[in-house]
Homo-oligomer: A and B are copies of this chain.
Amino acid sequence: MVLLEFSMTPLDKGVSVSEYVSRSLKIIDESGVDYRLNAMGTVLEGEWDEVMGVVTQCYDKMSADCKRITCSVKIDYREGPKGRLESKIASIEEKLGKSVKK
């Protein structure tokens, strides 16, 4: 199962890009893929083709009206079951012996 975090940003739209980010989030939210938004990106969980398919949809939408885009993707594949959006954080809190800011 794959955790994939990505952020996708137009370079030709000035300092405020939340309009474009929110269009991506609409695609993510409607995809049915489980996800969590944070201040630096969105983390998706699913099979490779599933999560990459969502990133591709966001790219298709953004590249339709942006001349330059920067995108970073980080993937953590681990053999085994789903649920790591929550379990990775829980595992760290357990080892730390306290809850942390999420």
**A residues engaging B (CB < 8 A)?**
3, 5, 7, 9, 11-12, 14-15, 17-19, 21-22, 25-26, 29, 34-41, 43, 45, 48-49, 52, 56, 59, 63, 66-79, 84-86, 88-89, 91-92, 95-96, 98, 100-102
Contacts and interface: CB of A to CB of B under 8 A. Distances in A.
B59 A89 contact: no
A25 B74 contact: no
Given A59-B77, A69-B75, A72-B73, 7 more contacts: A11-B11, A11-B17, A21-B92, A22-B95, A29-B96, A37-B102, A73-B74
**Taking chain A's interface residues, is the majority helix, strand, or loop, or is none over half, making it mixed?**
mixed
B43 A40 contact: yes
